[in-house]
């Protein structure tokens, strides 16, 4: 019955839920947070919990992690940071991602990273010169400094080239740089640029473009959510009062070399250089775009230069058209420094979040590569071992997120609000979500950081060690995987709610929740399962379904109670998934410290 109700409600939600505005598939005194809240049913609760509004200790901990040179101590500090994050109850992990997509059998030479980026620079498609794809719906940003979504990153890695890139073997290799020299103390990186580099409009391109672009991305005035990715660089401005020109990125007079000085040893710095936030942008295009600044010279829309398409870039493909909410077209860039590698003449992206429509277009031959498959089709694709259906591992987590400033917690103490959030962890049937919706072997999640993520010393982070033991030792997580409604009731009772003999909340003690998610069949199905799970407790949850870019904006602005979220790592180190939750991070959608 549960499965039948889920399927029926999915279709009701997809066709009737109205969008309320604007895809695929960011504390207390440390002595009070020596260990996470007990995850054992009936376990004793600490008298002091991590208050997500008092987040200074977490911010300080992240700074310490990023500055220490003791790698073993760094691992323990990162475990402590995850403990603090998970103790808030604001992050409710559901499962760890894998990536499924469909590609026509004749399509060769493309490759996919564990970060869900798809590279088409070396792709061939038989004797065809155009590849028709659907990655997601309308992207919020194409500007590599401002984008925070996987779909935007896929567009960025195919249209911009950074200092380094990933090859098909997931090796970091020079890109616009031809040589990289690292000082003996590992604090200074010198990049020697290739000769003859050009922007797609024919302008010369050299190290000076990186100086401009990195300072722009780090400048608080730009408003990049990912600006903290540059805080490993010496002179990084903590706020708008600091001079962006102090950022230690310099170009030789002839533009042949770029020098970057770091604050401390950063083993993953080249991974950062392969990330879109570090990509170059064309200064004249940025600053001459209509709407970029107001009459007083204040930046109004830093992404204005890309928002109508036809923008200047330096990658394998250049954008030649954008029909909003319908399609985007990229054509081979003849001025790309590896243009001989590029065999396809055109990438034509359909923009849609309707899985059924996307799949039908693929089956009809109108699309050659799709990143979304309707959940109802996955079982058949697996059973028939369809050679066009692919599943690859990702480093990431699908989770539910609470806005810690939501009116949901009005009148509650920090301890009571904490218990309300953690009750969710026990109420959700993760196994059913994975079996009924995911279907491709996703790993159940009871921690935010995923399995297989390395700890910086060559070992897996998510494991018990001589110096650290997860609260739920058997599963190396923070609570048992299995649904536990009794424990959820206990926590809600401790938060001040009352239950009747039927195990449901009394009418005099209601709990109403609004759940935000972006339009997508799988997200809708998961939302319905959570509704069913919470209904067993008498909790009423209603949904607020929006398009992708509006969902992003609403989460970032804190205009929600509870929302679907997901995060795929940008590089293989835990700090990437921990630093996104600092108070000032543009990816701190939980609103910690605010």
Which residue spans within 380-442 are E strands per DSSP? 389-402
DSSP collapsed to 3 states, 293-317: ECCCCCECCCCCCCCCCCCCCCCCE
Q: What does each of the 594 residues of the chain score in pLDDT, given as a tens digit? A: 443 334 333 333 333 233 333 343 333 232 222 333 333 333 334 445 789 999 999 999 999 999 998 999 999 999 999 999 999 999 999 999 999 999 999 999 999 999 999 999 999 999 999 999 999 999 999 999 999 999 999 999 999 999 999 999 999 999 999 999 999 999 999 999 999 999 999 999 999 999 999 999 999 999 999 999 999 999 999 888 999 999 999 999 999 999 999 999 999 999 999 999 999 999 999 999 999 999 999 999 999 999 999 999 999 999 999 999 999 999 999 999 999 999 999 999 999 999 999 999 999 999 999 998 998 999 999 999 999 999 998 999 999 999 999 999 999 999 999 999 999 999 999 999 999 999 999 999 999 999 999 999 989 999 999 999 999 999 999 999 999 999 999 999 999 999 999 999 999 999 999 999 999 899 999 999 999 999 999 999 999 999 998 999 999 999 999 999 999 999 999 999 999 999 999 999 999 999
Helix (H, G, I), strand (E, B) or coil at 98: strand
Which residue spans within 403-501 are E strands per DSSP? 443-444
| Cα–Cα distance for residue pair 128/343, rounded to 1 Å | 9
| Cα–Cα distance for residue pair 386/457, rounded to 1 Å | 39
Q: Is 537 exposed, middle or buried (0-12, 13-18, 19+ CB in 10 A)?
A: buried
| Cα–Cα distance for residue pair 196/216, rounded to 1 Å | 24
Q: Which bin fits 501, alpha (ψ -120 to 50), beta or left (φ > 0)?
A: alpha
pTM more than 0.75: yes
Contacts of 37 (CB under 8 A, 6+ apart): 45, 46, 49, 87, 89, 418, 422, 471
Can you give the pLDDT at residue 87?
97
Q: Cβ atoms within 10 A of the Cβ of 180, count?
A: 17
Helix (H, G, I), strand (E, B) or coil at 478: coil
Backbone angles phi, psi at 41, to 5 degrees: -55, 130
Nearest to 118 by CA among 135, 97, 142: 135
Nearest to 67 by CA among 227, 231, 263, 230: 263
| Cα–Cα distance for residue pair 343/129, rounded to 1 Å | 7
Helix (H, G, I), strand (E, B) or coil at 356: helix
User: Helix 414-427 and helix 485-494: axis angle, to 10°?
Assistant: 170
Specify the CATH superfamily of domain 105-359. Periplasmic binding protein-like II (3.40.190.10)
Can you give the pLDDT at residue 13?
35
CA gyration radius, the chain: 24
Whole-angstrom CA distances from 522 to 20, 200, 436, 484, 528 are 20, 38, 10, 24, 10
Q: Are strands 540-546 and 512-518 parallel, antiparallel or unpaired?
A: parallel
| DSSP result, 63-76 | HHHHH---HHHHHH
Can you give the pLDDT at residue 47?
41
| Cα–Cα distance for residue pair 156/495, rounded to 1 Å | 46
Sign of CA dihedral 116, 120, 125, 129: positive
Give Cα 20 to chain centroid, integer Å. Answer: 23
Domain with CATH 3.10.105.10 in the chain: 2-97+394-581
CB contact at 8 A, 563 and 38: no
Token digits of residue 414: 């920090």
Helix (H, G, I), strand (E, B) or coil at 76: helix
| Cα–Cα distance for residue pair 508/535, rounded to 1 Å | 16
**Domain 2-97+394-581: assigned CATH number:** 3.10.105.10
Can you give the pLDDT at residue 32?
28
Contacts of 464 (CB under 8 A, 6+ apart): 470, 473, 476
Backbone angles phi, psi at 511, to 5 degrees: -140, 115
CB contact at 8 A, 335 and 282: no
- First-to-last alpha carbon distance for the chain, in angstroms, is 42
Nearest to 447 by CA among 82, 43, 21: 82
Domain with CATH 3.40.190.10 in the chain: 105-359
CB contact at 8 A, 511 and 540: yes
Token digits of residue 570: 């940008």
Token digits of residue 243: 């001079």
Helix (H, G, I), strand (E, B) or coil at 74: helix
DSSP collapsed to 3 states, 536-557: CCCCEEEEEEECHHHHHHHHHH
Residue corresponding to tokens 């992003």? 552
């Amino acid at each position: 019955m549960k499965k039948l109700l889920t399927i029926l409600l999915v279709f009701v939600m997809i066709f009737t839920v109205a969008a309320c505005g604007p895809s695929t598939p960011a504390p207390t005194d440390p002595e009070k947070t020596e260990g996470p809240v007990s995850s054992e049913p009936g376990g004793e609760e600490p008298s002091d919990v991590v208050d997500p509004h008092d987040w200074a200790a977490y911010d300080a901990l992240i700074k310490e992690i990023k500055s220490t040179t003791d790698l073993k101590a760094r691992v323990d500090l990162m475990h402590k940071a995850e403990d603090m994050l998970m103790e808030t109850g604001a992050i409710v992990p559901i499962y760890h991602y894998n990536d499924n997509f469909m590609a026509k059998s004749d399509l060769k030479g493309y490759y996919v990273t564990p970060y869900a980026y798809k590279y088409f620079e070396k792709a061939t498609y038989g004797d065809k010169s155009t590849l028709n794809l659907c990655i997601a719906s309308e992207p919020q940003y194409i500007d590599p400094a401002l984008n925070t979504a996987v779909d935007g990153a896929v567009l960025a890695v195919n249209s911009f080239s950074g200092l380094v890139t990933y090859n098909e073997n997931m090796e970091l290799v020079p890109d616009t740089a031809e040589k990289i020299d690292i000082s003996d103390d590992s604090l200074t990186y010198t990049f020697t640029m290739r000769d003859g580099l050009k922007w797609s409009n024919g302008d010369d391109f050299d190290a000076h473009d990186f100086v401009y672009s990195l300072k722009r991305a780090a400048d608080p005035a730009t408003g990049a959510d990912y600006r903290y990715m540059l805080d490993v660089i010496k002179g990084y401005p903590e706020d708008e009062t600091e001079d962006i020109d102090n950022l230690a990125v310099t170009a030789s007079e002839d533009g042949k070399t770029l020098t970057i000085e770091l604050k401390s040893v950063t083993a993953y710095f080249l991974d950062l250089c392969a990330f879109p936030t570090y990509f170059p942008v064309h200064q004249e295009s940025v600053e001459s775009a209509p709407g970029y600044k107001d009459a007083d010279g204040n930046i109004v829309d830093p992404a204005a230069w890309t928002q109508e398409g036809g923008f200047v870039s330096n990658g394998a493909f250049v954008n030649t058209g954008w029909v909003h909410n319908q399609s985007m077209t990229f054509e081979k860039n003849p001025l790309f420094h590896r243009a001989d590698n590029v065999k396809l003449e055109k990438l034509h992206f359909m923009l849609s979040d309707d899985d059924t429509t996307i799949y039908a277009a693929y089956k009809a031959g109108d699309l050659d590569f799709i990143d979304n498959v309707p959940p109802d089709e996955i079982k058949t694709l697996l059973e028939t071992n369809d050679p066009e259906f692919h599943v690859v591992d990702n480093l990431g987590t699908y989770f539910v997120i609470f806005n810690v400033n939501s009116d949901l917690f009005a009148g509650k103490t920090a301890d009571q609000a904490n218990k309300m959030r953690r009750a969710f962890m026990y109420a959700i049937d993760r196994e059913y979500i994975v079996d009924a919706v995911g279907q491709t072997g996703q790993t159940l999640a009871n921690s935010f950081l995923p399995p297989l993520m390395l700890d910086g010393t060559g070992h897996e982070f998510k494991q018990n060690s001589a110096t650290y033991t997860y609260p739920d030792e058997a599963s190396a997580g923070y609570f048992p995987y299995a649904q536990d409604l009794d424990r959820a009731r206990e926590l809600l009772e401790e938060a001040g709610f009352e239950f009747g003999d039927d195990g449901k909340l009394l009418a005099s003690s209601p709990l109403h929740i609004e759940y935000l998610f972006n339009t997508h069949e799988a997200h809708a199905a998961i939302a319905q399962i959570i509704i069913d799970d919470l209904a067993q407790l008498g909790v009423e949850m209603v949904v607020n379904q929006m398009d992708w870019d509006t969902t992003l904006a609403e989460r970032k602005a804190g205009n929600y109670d509870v929302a679907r979220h997901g995060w795929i790592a940008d590089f293989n180190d835990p700090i990437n998934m921990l630093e996104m939750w600092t108070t000032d991070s543009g990816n701190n959608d939980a609103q910690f410290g605010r």
